[in-house]
Amino acid sequence: MKKLLVLLLLANAALFGYAYVDGMNANAQASAERYKPINADAVKSLTAQQMSKLGPAKVAQLTLACAEWGPLSEADRVRATKLLEPLVLGRTLLSRRVDVQAEHWVYIPPKTNRPAADRAFADLKRLNVTGGNVVLESGEWNFAISLGVFRTKAEADERLAAIRAKGVKTATYRLREQTLAMTALVLREPTQSTVSKLEELKSEIAGTSITTGACPDIKA
């Protein structure tokens, strides 16, 4: 009888111990799941050595957010900067070059040689037509005079009409894909109210947009 009682006590103790350990394991598992990073496989951790190799500028980009307004022609850049003056952005406002594909070309057809192209270009200056250049490249457009490349047909039509109004009857239009060097204004760590103001201002300059995200690499 005494032996049976001892065996029952031992069995109860073993059962209690198993239940306790199993409960601890379940709690630990639940805790691990609770604090498991979302999309952990997409997160890349950097060591101190890797961070030091990035340099201070790149490390700053990993932690800073920026808003970007563009793309802007030079005239639009000046206008946008003026619109932003009341915000007193100071050194947080930067700019960077962006390459944009455009296909609406206003031009004067190619001349037979460089001297003829230079004479035609001088004639444009005398008529107060600015913003053009002599095309110097291999192929069929060598010695043409480019009078502007635009992202929309409306912009090209407006430019062509203004040039013809000055008496340049040889100016014409065609589709020809080219790359435009334009500008984007970049604002570091903007407040939500500033981003909202940027969204309002973008309507002042057609064809521009506001994007937000990690700060781009801007070389001084």
> What is the residue-level pLDDT of the chain in tens, covering all 220 positions?
544 444 444 445 444 444 444 554 544 444 444 333 333 343 343 444 554 455 555 544 554 699 999 999 888 999 999 999 999 999 999 999 999 999 999 999 999 999 999 999 999 999 999 888 999 999 999 999 999 999 899 999 999 999 999 999 999 999 999 998 999 999 999 998 999 999 999 999 888 999 999 888 776 5
Q: Look up residue 179 and give its two tokens.
A: 């790359």
Q: Are 112 and 143 in contact (CB under 8 A)?
A: yes
CATH annotation of 104-173: 3.30.70
CA dist list (Å): 84 to 80, 197, 204: 6, 9, 12
| Structural fold of domain 58-100+182-214 | Alpha-Beta Plaits (3.30.70)
